[in-house]
């Protein structure tokens, strides 16, 4: 079986490689992972599409999910481990966020106890 990239023009091959490099660069940063996950959430990937009698709402959500699936497909094309790793690392990032917000809440309550 032949590789489809054999049929790309040099410009298309360059664009494909540049996009893959950009995904790798963004994915290497915790802020990039946060943005990618936010984008997937906005694409309703983690929500049920069916909206009962509201057929238009169902179709709208399915359209959003189609965009999310394209993003996941692009991640898979660059590296098949990107999306599974993203899910694992986002769980870690969310746990750290929760810990940081709890710590900030404790610090605020300690500050409130101080008499001025």
Top pLDDT among 76 and 112 is at 76
Counts of helices then strands in the chain (DSSP H, E): 4, 0
Inside any domain, residue 1: no
Residue 115 has pLDDT above 60, yes or no: no
pLDDT at 111: 59
Q: How far apart are the first and last CA of the chain?
A: 76
d(CA 87, CA 65) in angstroms, rounded, equals 17
Q: Write out the two tokens for 21.
A: 């490099």
Inside any domain, residue 96: yes
- Give the mean model confidence (pLDDT) for residues 8-28: 93
d(CA 1, CA 3) in angstroms, rounded, equals 7
Give the residue numbers spanning the domain of 100: 8-112
pLDDT at 1: 54
d(CA 54, CA 32) in angstroms, rounded, equals 35
- Decide if 32 contacts 87 (C-beta within 8 A): no
**Mapping DSSP to helix (H, G, I), strand (E, B) and coil, where does residue 81 land?**
coil
Identify the band that residue 83 occupies on the pLDDT scale cut at 50, 70 and 90.
very high
pLDDT at 109: 62
Number of domains in the chain: 1
Query: Could you identify the residue written with the tokens 């870690």?
Result: 92
- Give the mean model confidence (pLDDT) for residues 19-38: 93
Residue 77 has pLDDT above 90, yes or no: yes
pLDDT at 40: 96
d(CA 42, CA 22) in angstroms, rounded, equals 21
d(CA 113, CA 100) in angstroms, rounded, equals 20
Residue 85 has pLDDT above 60, yes or no: yes
pTM of the model: 0.77
């Amino acid at each position: 079986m032949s590789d489809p990239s054999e049929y790309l023009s040099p410009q298309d091959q360059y664009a494909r490689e540049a996009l893959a490099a950009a995904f790798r660069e963004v994915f290497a940063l915790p802020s990039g992972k946060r943005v990618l996950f936010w984008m997937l959430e906005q694409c309703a990937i983690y929500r049920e599409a069916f909206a009962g009698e509201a057929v238009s709402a169902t179709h709208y959500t399915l359209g959003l999910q189609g965009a999310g699936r394209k993003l996941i497909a692009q991640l898979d094309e660059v590296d098949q481990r990107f999306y599974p790793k993203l899910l694992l690392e986002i769980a870690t990032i969310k746990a750290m966020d929760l810990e940081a917000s709890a710590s900030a809440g404790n610090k605020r309550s300690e500050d409130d106890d101080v008499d001025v």
